Amino acid sequence: MATKTAHIKQLNGITFVGKTDTNHWIPMDGPEDFGGSNAAIRPKELILLSLGGCTASDVIAILQKKRVKIEKFEMNISAEETDEHPKYYKSINLEYVFYGKGIKEADVIRAIELSQEKYCGVTFMLKSVVQITHNFRIVETES
């Protein structure tokens, strides 16, 4: 079992930078009325990006192995947050959007299924505490 590490440094108030074993720094901040400078992404928002990035990587890699030609890919992620503290995400929806010509729905369904049920570690960590749903669109292009 591998051990992963992260390191966080305070810059000012609740403005921080953090890095992990890959040695890439990322800024995090909060609103001014909470001691931040409103200059970077909120730490909790990183969860949405982590989830989206993890499953997007899986899905695109799977489709590439199947030699599915994707011209462009996007994800839209929405989350329902509780009103009371501790504020947390009750549900998250992932919308995968594929652009290309002749993309088969069955290939997309299988790639998403494999990511969500087998490969995406972020999904695995979150699914016991938050409802994760997904849908997809295929946008047919001319080329």
pLDDT over threshold 90, residue 140:
yes
Distances from the Cα of 86 to the Cα of 81, 102, 121, 136, angstroms? 10, 46, 24, 31
pLDDT over threshold 90, residue 116:
yes
State pLDDT tens for residues 20-56: 999 999 999 999 999 999 999 999 999 999 999 999 9
Q: Which of 83, 109, 85, 114 is CA-nearest to residue 98? A: 109
State pLDDT tens for residues 82-110: 999 999 999 999 999 999 999 999 999 99
- Average pLDDT for 135-139: 98
State pLDDT tens for residues 55-82: 999 999 999 999 999 999 999 999 999 9
Burial status of residue 138 (CB atoms within 10 A of its CB: 0-12, 13-18, 19 or more)? middle
Q: What are phi and psi of 103, to 5 degrees?
A: -70, 130
Contacts (Cβ under 8 Å, ≥6 apart) of 97: 73, 74, 75, 76, 136, 137, 139
Specify the DSSP element, H or E, that contains 56.
helix 43-65
pLDDT over threshold 80, residue 143:
no
pLDDT over threshold 80, residue 13:
yes
Stated pTM of the model:
0.93
